[in-house]
């Protein structure tokens, strides 16, 4: 069957985010202006230029956070937790919550026709994994002696430590726990991964290779080493700026003239995607339909990203694959990083392609969750469609003149019947998806 014959709909969602662990909690925060950004307490921050972030503070990583599970599955997950770092636990938990939300349990779906695509950041080892081995390598002068590593250091490292950090493990665990025997793939394109996972899962269903796909993304920027990388590579928000005035909840300010960088965050989310007739046959609740998608990577000969062109390309690609016109898009869920340059170039691209389409950005409430951001943002806009109300951009109090967009700053704006979700990496790798109300 051609792609036009196989429509792909969303029948379940699951998430772990700074704004809650259910779509209802997420919407409650967005609709009431509640921020998930606060002072970080999960890692030491005294040597960082920032001490704020969007933490999943209620997520302990224990099996009870994975939702209601039958005894056998609960036992299996609990036994495997030692092979999961925080990023992976976030992703697997979101997946199990999505299965429950969609009403899927083993026995009521065909494993061979069900697969998964999962996006993740590159995942860094925690220093604690090497601590014992390093300690064993100090000599009598209390200096680290690398010549002792092979004999005294490495044997003290957990033999399976690498499995805790491989970026393909979220998809692997989800497939194993739920007996998914269909197509499986892992995507590691940083913030662009979530939309790409949805696009890949959609095309798998459209070409008939599966009837149901689990599309997820997970990431954590709050990590003793990952945070160091971000401090060195990206512009982070200073809550002591004039605009924020020391308030953590005021630091993420997409498109505002007073913005000065992104806020760190962590989170994961999952969509259950099904071919329309399969979903209808089992009486599933349909939350929306995937209509189109776009992908682009643009940089100059020096490797410097061209954000504006990349954003423009993915919006045009999304319109082309969906068969929609710019006027058909109800709202834009912007990447909204709160970075001076990225926001400026994203705004210019939105204005050029979609004109005065209303624009919102959930990062203003929770910071940049890395790979997990895009999927949480998709669910945020799905909830806006369901509630027929678009949440405003938090802290966009003085729209930058260099960001000529129709920024939503007050409650009550209509979300329309569809939205395009945009994401991009610092390297200029952009992605988009268009999702519309099911009709």
Distances (CA, A) of 179 to 114, 115, 174: 9, 9, 8
Q: Domain total for the chain?
A: 2
Answer with the residue of higher pLDDT: 287 or 412. Answer: 287
Q: Give CA–CA dist 390/418, Å, rounded.
A: 12
Place of tokens 């395009």: 420
**In this structure, are 210 and 194 located in the same domain?**
yes
Backbone angles phi, psi at 251, to 5 degrees: -75, -35
pLDDT digits (tens, 9 = 90+) for 91-115: 999 999 999 999 999 989 999 999 9
- Give the model's pLDDT for residue 87: 95
- Give the model's pLDDT for residue 122: 84
Nearest by Cα to 281 from 3, 11, 1:
11
pLDDT digits (tens, 9 = 90+) for 227-265: 888 888 889 999 999 999 999 999 999 999 999 999 999
**In this structure, are 120 and 150 located in the same domain?**
no
pLDDT digits (tens, 9 = 90+) for 8-64: 999 999 999 999 999 999 999 999 999 999 999 998 888 888 999 999 999 999 999
pLDDT at 1 over 60: no
What count of other Cβ atoms lies within 10 Å of the Cβ of residue 362?
A: 32
- Give the model's pLDDT for residue 231: 84
Mean of pLDDT values over 208-232: 92
Residue 2 lies in a domain: no
**In this structure, are 207 and 347 located in the same domain?**
yes
Residue 325 lies in a domain: yes
pLDDT at 137 over 70: yes
Mean of pLDDT values over 122-129: 88
Residue 1 lies in a domain: no
Range of the domain at 146: 128-161
Q: Give CA–CA dist 25/280, Å, rounded.
A: 27
**In this structure, are 153 and 269 located in the same domain?**
no
Average pLDDT, the chain: 95
4: pLDDT confidence band, cut at 50, 70 and 90? low
Distances (CA, A) of 2 to 208, 284, 295: 8, 23, 21
pLDDT digits (tens, 9 = 90+) for 302-324: 999 999 999 999 999 999 999 99
Domain boundary residue, one of 108, 138, 161: 161
Q: Which two tokens stand for residue 73?
A: 């599955």
Answer with the residue of higher pLDDT: 333 or 234. Answer: 333
**In this structure, are 153 and 107 located in the same domain?**
no
pLDDT digits (tens, 9 = 90+) for 66-87: 999 999 999 999 999 999 999 9
**In this structure, are 272 and 258 located in the same domain?**
yes
**Based on the number of CB atoms within 10 Å of its own CB, is 33 exposed (0-12), middle (13-18) or buried (19 or more)?**
middle
Residue 196 lies in a domain: yes
């Amino acid at each position: 069957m051609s792609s036009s014959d196989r429509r792909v709909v969303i029948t379940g969602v699951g998430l772990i985010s700074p704004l809650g662990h259910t779509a209802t909690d997420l919407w409650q925060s967005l609709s009431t202006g509640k921020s998930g950004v606060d002072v970080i307490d999960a890692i030491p921050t005294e040597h960082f230029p920032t001490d704020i972030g969007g933490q999943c503070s209620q997520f302990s990583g224990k099996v009870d956070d994975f939702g209601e599970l039958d005894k056998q599955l609960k036992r299996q997950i609990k036994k495997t937790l030692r092979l999961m770092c925080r990023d992976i636990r976030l992703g697997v938990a979101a997946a199990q919550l999505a299965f429950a939300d969609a009403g899927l349990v083993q026995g009521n779906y065909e494993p061979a026709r069900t697969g998964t695509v999962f996006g993740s950041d590159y995942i860094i080892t925690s220093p604690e994994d090497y601590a014992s081995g390093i300690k064993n390598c100090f000599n009598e002068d209390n200096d680290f002696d690398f010549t002792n590593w092979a004999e005294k250091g490495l044997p003290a490292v957990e033999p399976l430590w690498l499995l805790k950090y491989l970026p393909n493990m979220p998809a692997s665990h989800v497939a194993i726990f739920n007996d998914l025997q269909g197509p499986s793939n892992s995507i590691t394109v940083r913030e662009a991964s979530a939309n790409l996972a949805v696009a890949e899962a959609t095309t798998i269903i459209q070409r008939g290779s599966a009837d149901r796909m689990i599309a997820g993304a997970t990431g954590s920027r709050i990590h003793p080493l990952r945070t160091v990388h971000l401090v060195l590579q990206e512009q982070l928000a200073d809550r002591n700026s004039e605009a924020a005035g020391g308030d953590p909840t005021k630091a993420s300010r997409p498109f505002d003239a007073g913005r000065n960088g992104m806020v760190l965050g962590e989170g994961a989310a999952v969509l259950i995607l099904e071919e329309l007739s399969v979903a209808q046959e089992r009486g599933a609740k349909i939350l929306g339909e995937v209509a189109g998608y776009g992908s682009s990577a643009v940089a100059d000969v020096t490797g410097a990203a061209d954000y504006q062109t990349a954003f423009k390309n993915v919006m045009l690609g999304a319109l082309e694959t969906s068969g929609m016109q710019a006027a058909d898009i109800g709202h834009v869920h912007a990447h909204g990083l709160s970075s001076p340059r990225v926001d400026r170039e994203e705004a210019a691209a939105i204005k050029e392609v979609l004109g005065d389409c209303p624009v919102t950005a959930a990062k203003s409430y929770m910071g940049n969750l890395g790979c997990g951001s895009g999927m949480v943002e998709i669910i945020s806009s799905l909830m806006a469609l369901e509630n027929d109300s678009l949440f405003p951009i938090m802290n966009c109090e003085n729209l930058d003149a260099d960001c000529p967009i129709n920024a939503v700053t007050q409650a009550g704006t209509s979300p329309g019947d569809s939205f395009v979700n945009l994401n991009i990496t610092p390297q200029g790798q952009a992605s988009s998806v268009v999702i519309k109300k099911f009709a």
